[in-house]
């Protein structure tokens, strides 16, 4: 009832652990799966190790989180060493980032043996020279996706930024470059100020806002992308309940990623949401989750 197939990969359910949340080791990825995730996305991996920004890197708000981690990661060689010999019985999507199409392609080539698919982080709003600065330009989205498609035979998913006037232009550029799918949205550019210190709280000043507060923005982006594209859309942004998940599915998302929801509610959020989706399908007379994808578009 909950099983979905995307890019030739089978997911037990449409819920996927998003990049950047409790995804640092193979065991954490396995735990996410044991707790109910149908698949996982790794932390974003680059060519060189990055320490990330100094603390404070996270601001907790009543309606979500602002983070400016700075893409901390061990670099591709250390990642390959840790994950290379591991076997997983669920799809593992490797997130990669770079400053040029060539860097993305290099990483895809080097990490193809450990990835069931790649998610291209084209949209980090707080790492200078990476992510959003590339991902805001549709011609750069096209170039990066094309370079990676030329470098690997694994499925390629472009993760899109909401920090643009029209996200569908980015999606269409990814589709033109033969991306297998897109994921939307990454975090919204945001800041928070300490009124007593009279300065921004985050060491980087600006971060990415995620959590329940961005759900309506993410839902609109998924709706627009699903109407415009022929390739699958993976919905991300503020999904913390089964009702949220059903909204995204109705808006055209073929699968869903959960990140801040795990940070706020723990791994149990996967089982809670999948059980809720299943009850909804049974009560509404649907035999499969696939039956409701995009119904709100009609």
58 pLDDT higher than 60: yes
Write down the catalytic residue from 4, 120, 124, 218.
124
For residue 159, say whether it is annotated as part of any ligand binding site. Answer: yes
pTM of structure: 0.96
185 pLDDT higher than 60: yes
For residue 20, say whether it is annotated as part of any ligand binding site. Answer: no
Question: What does the pLDDT average to over 160-173?
Answer: 96
On whether the CB atoms of residues 246 and 277 are closer than 8 A, the answer is yes
For residue 69, say whether it is annotated as part of any ligand binding site. Answer: yes
Q: What is the pLDDT of residue 298?
A: 79
For residue 129, name the pLDDT band (cuts at 50, 70, 90).
low
Residue 297 tokens read as: 């578009």
235 pLDDT higher than 60: yes
Q: What is the pLDDT of residue 132?
A: 55
Q: What is the pLDDT of residue 82?
A: 94
Q: What is the pLDDT of residue 126?
A: 53
On whether the CB atoms of residues 208 and 217 are closer than 8 A, the answer is no
For residue 3, name the pLDDT band (cuts at 50, 70, 90).
very high
Mean pLDDT, the chain, whole residue set: 94
Q: Which domains does the chain have, with CATH numbers?
A: 4-297 (3.20.20.70)
Question: What does the pLDDT average to over 188-196?
Answer: 96
Question: What does the pLDDT average to over 196-212?
Answer: 96
133 pLDDT higher than 80: no
pLDDT digits (tens, 9 = 90+) for 244-277: 999 999 999 999 999 999 999 999 999 999 999 9
For residue 149, say whether it is annotated as part of any ligand binding site. Answer: no
pLDDT digits (tens, 9 = 90+) for 64-106: 999 999 888 999 999 999 998 899 999 999 999 998 999 999 9
Cβ neighbours of residue 104 under 8 Å, at least 6 residues apart?
Answer: 96, 97, 98, 120, 144, 147, 148
Residue 193 tokens read as: 């100020």
Report the alpha-carbon distance of residue 93 to residue 120 in Å, rounded.
10
Active site residue 99: no
Residue 27 CA to its chain's centroid (Å): 20
């Amino acid at each position: 009832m909950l099983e979905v197939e995307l890019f030739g990969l089978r997911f037990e359910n449409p819920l996927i652990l998003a990049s950047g949340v409790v995804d640092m080791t193979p065991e954490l990825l396995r735990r996410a799966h044991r707790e109910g995730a149908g698949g996982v996305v790794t932390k974003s991996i680059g060519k060189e190790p990055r320490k990330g920004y100094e603390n404070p890197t996270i601001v907790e708000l009543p309606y979500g989180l602002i983070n400016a981690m700075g893409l901390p990661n061990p670099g591709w060689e250390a990642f390959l060493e840790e994950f290379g010999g591991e076997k997983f019985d669920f799809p593992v999507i490797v997130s990669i980032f770079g400053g040029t199409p060539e860097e993305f392609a290099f990483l895809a080539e080097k990490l193809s043996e450990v990835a069931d698919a790649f998610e291209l982080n084209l949209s980090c709003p707080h790492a200078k020279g990476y992510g959003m600065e590339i991902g805001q330009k549709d011609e750069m989205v096209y170039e990066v996706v094309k370079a990676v498609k030329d470098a690997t035979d694994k499925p390629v998913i472009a993760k899109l930024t909401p920090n643009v006037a029209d996200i569908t232009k980015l999606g269409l550029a990814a589709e033109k470059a033969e991306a297998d799918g897109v994921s939307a949205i990454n975090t919204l550019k945001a800041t928070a100020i300490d009124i007593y210190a009279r300065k921004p709280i985050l060491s980087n000043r600006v971060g990415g806002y995620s959590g329940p507060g961005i759900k309506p923005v993410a839902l609109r982006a998924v709706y627009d992308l699903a109407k415009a594209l022929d390739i699958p859309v993976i919905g991300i942004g503020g999904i913390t309940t089964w009702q949220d998940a059903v909204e995204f599915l109705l808006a055209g998302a073929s699968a869903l990623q959960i990140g801040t929801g795990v940070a706020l509610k723990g791994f149990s959020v996967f089982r809670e949401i999948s059980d809720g989706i299943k009850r909804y399908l049974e009560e509404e007379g649907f035999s499969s989750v696939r039956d409701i994808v995009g119904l709100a578009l009609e």
